[in-house]
Amino acid sequence: MVLQGFRMAAGASAMAGRSRQLAVVVIACWVFAMHAAAAWADDAWPQVSPEWLTRDAAGGLAILPLVCWWAWIAAWAATSDWIFRDSARFKIRPEFWTACAVFPFVACSLLAWWIPWSAAGQALMALAWLLPLFLYSRERNPKAPPAESIFTIAHLKRAFNAALKQMGVKVKSPSIVDDGLPWVTLFATAAETPEENQKWQEEAAAMPGFEAAKKLLQEAAAARASTIVIDAAADGIRVAHDVDGIAGPSRAVKTPAKGLGKTKQPEVWADAPPLDATIGNAGLAVLRTIAGAEAAKLSGEKDSGFIIEVDGKKRPCRLSTRATKTAKQVVITLDLPPFAPKKLEDLGMSGAMAKRVRELIALEKGLFVVSSPPANGCSTTFDMVLLSTDRLLRDFVSIEDSGTPPQEVQNIKPVRYSAAAGEAPLTALKAAMLEYPRAIVTRDLLDKDLAGKLVELANDQQFVIVSLQATDALDAVQKLIDMGIPRDQLARCLLGSLSQRLIRKLCTKCGEPLPTPPELLQRLKKNAEELPEIKRASPHGGCRFCAGRQFIGRTAIYELAAGPTLRQAIAQQVDVKVLRQAAIKDGMRPLSDEGLAVVATGLTPLDEVQRVFAAKKEAGAVAGSKTASQPGAKPGIKPDASPGTKK
């Protein structure tokens, strides 16, 4: 009988549970029970009584109590597994609460077989099942959204309505306004001791502006904002968000969705109005309290920090104050969830270009350049290029400023210098060469002496990868020339110049079809049948999915300038226009064409590409007008057709 009970309980737990840990605990408990029962003779164990309610003379459990016994087992198996998963979600001691739910119930279920009074046994099992749930709810409810609270009146109403619906009874549920905001919990972390952090949290929670501060952070998290700027204005407290590189006012629903049946009208979103000065200042006081801003001010620090937990995931935040012409602004920087691409294609690069990049960085020697304008994802692409190299076959070193060390890349040894202490990058390069590396890496190349030495090494036997700020691939080449690098040396060693721009992706719920403009068809060399329509942003101003921004996330577009025609043009002192023509002849697809190709796929609207390249035109107006002449250059030197040797 015990063996049969062991099998049925393990099966119930396996069906109801998804937690492997819980299944192990349940099975262990029942194995213990089986061994304990084995010490008794088979005829000593109470058998099932043919009676419905009362035990027989031998002490066998009646049929109805037996059915209830197994019903308690099934309910316990389901709720115990839920406690484990839910406590892990909210990080509320999952091992402790799972043990509280499992072990007392196992003991009480065994007692229910033996005690003479069936009603007492059922009550004992019910208590062992419900008491851990009730105690867990007392610790869980303060950390969970109100709509997910348990063992409350609202919870009982939800359970009752759900049961009626299961039986086919139509129940009119109360309308719940879903603001779509994530659940956010605030934690103080800037204090020197945990006790002081707890004190700051309690003080902030007791302040009148706590809910306003919490909602402000909820709205920023829902909008995927990396920065919140809070500014005092004449009409109240204005809040701005920086989302996907675009700063602007926070967004809110202007007109809620209305309509009857299937003709429901969409919501209309607009810039959020300013907060009431009293509410906004109260919320700011809460944020300054939990961040320990006053303590940071006394210690002379500019920033203070705290942590928010968004749907169970912690995100560090920094609070700082900066002065403007009219008042002081409070700036809160939120760390975004990390972006972890696994290959170049994950960044938005085409498969053909990614293959070509891998071929170039597999060469034994030469110079490979990665560039972008500021804040356009150059660091991420640079890291992915490094991760695509053969770092296990070649010794890589990285020349880095110790004041701003980049993210560490495996199998690349950092060699640092201190610009703040007046050390030159060449000092680190000389130290690195003592290791006899086969590849040298450096970011944000600005030092002319370092650039000249790296080009010399790339012409010798070294593989060199550098990054710098430039508007496009040819502008990066021009910047290297402007650093005083001889054209003939650059032409001989240049493997390729990879440049990128970031473009926002249209929200899938906000995109609307638009007939393809004739100018775009002409530019893409397509007809209306091949590309009848493209996407545009909704005129309603967004939705809850994108928090009223109409865009979600960004992707990169790339251009790769590489080939013998380009290298020959570099050596011949031609201007940037001719360099571009040479790169296109070698197969380069300009960034503008890449952007239009993305528009054709419906990933982004045409006006987003126009915005990106309007900004590019303004940023590159001065650099693009420069000629490529350089004193001391040797025109007419034909570079090698292949500047690198395949490994």
Helices (H), 401-500: 425-433, 448-460, 473-482, 487-493
Residue 448 pLDDT exceeds 50? yes
Two domains, one topology: 184-334 and 344-624: no
Q: How confident is the model at residue 8 (pLDDT cuts 50, 70, 90)?
A: very low
Q: Say how far apart CA 437 and CA 420 lie, in whole Å.
A: 26
Nearest 10 degrees: Cα torsion 80, 81, 83, 89: 170
Instruction: Report the pLDDT value the prediction gives residue 544, as an integer from 0 to 100.
Output: 83
| Inter-residue contact 212 to 186 (CB < 8 Å) | no
Other beta carbons within 10 Å of 282: 19
Q: Please report, for the chain, how many H helices and E strands are present, in that order.
A: 22, 18
Instruction: Report the pLDDT value the prediction gives residue 60, as an integer from 0 to 100.
Output: 52
Exposed/middle/buried for 584, CB within 10 Å: 0-12, 13-18, 19+?
A: middle
Q: Which of the pair, 425 or 634, is modelled with greater confidence?
A: 425
Q: Which of the pair, 23 or 315, is modelled with greater confidence?
A: 315
> Mean of the pLDDT values across residues 386-415?
90
Other beta carbons within 10 Å of 96: 11
Give the list of residues 6+ apart from residue 492 with CB closer than 8 angstroms, or none. Answer: 459, 567, 639, 640, 643
Instruction: Report the pLDDT value the prediction gives residue 61, as an integer from 0 to 100.
Output: 56
Q: Say how far apart CA 161 and CA 154 lie, in whole Å.
A: 11
Instruction: Report the pLDDT value the prediction gives residue 77, as an integer from 0 to 100.
Output: 85
Residue 216 pLDDT exceeds 80? yes
The lowest-confidence range among 17-21, 546-550, 568-572, 604-608 is: 17-21
Exposed/middle/buried for 15, CB within 10 Å: 0-12, 13-18, 19+?
A: exposed
Instruction: Report the pLDDT value the prediction gives residue 149, as an integer from 0 to 100.
Output: 76
Q: How confident is the model at residue 356 (pLDDT cuts 50, 70, 90)?
A: very high
For 317, phi and psi rounded to 5 degrees? -130, 150
Residue 498 pLDDT exceeds 60? yes
Q: Say how far apart CA 497 and CA 643 lie, in whole Å.
A: 14
Residue 226 pLDDT exceeds 70? yes
For residue range 111-160, list pLDDT tens digits in order: 877 776 777 777 888 888 888 888 888 888 777 766 677 878 777 777 77
Instruction: Report the pLDDT value the prediction gives residue 183, as an integer from 0 to 100.
Output: 81
Instruction: Report the pLDDT value the prediction gives residue 267, as an integer from 0 to 100.
Output: 78
The DSSP secondary-structure symbol of 602 reads T
For residue range 301-335, list pLDDT tens digits in order: 667 889 998 877 889 999 998 877 777 789 999 99
DSSP 396-420: EEEEEETTS-----TTEEEEEE-TT
> Mean of the pLDDT values across residues 233-250?
89
Instruction: Report the pLDDT value the prediction gives residue 395, as an integer from 0 to 100.
Output: 92
Domain boundaries, the chain: 2-144, 184-334, 344-624
**Cα dist from 245 to 276, 357, 502, 535, whole Å:** 27, 27, 9, 21
> Mean of the pLDDT values across residues 211-223?
91
| Inter-residue contact 292 to 191 (CB < 8 Å) | yes
User: What architecture (CATH level 2) is domain 344-624?
Assistant: 3-Layer(aba) Sandwich (3.40)
User: What architecture (CATH level 2) is domain 184-334?
Assistant: 2-Layer Sandwich (3.30)
Both structure tokens of 622: 């001065």
For residue range 502-539, list pLDDT tens digits in order: 999 999 888 889 898 988 888 888 888 888 989 998 88
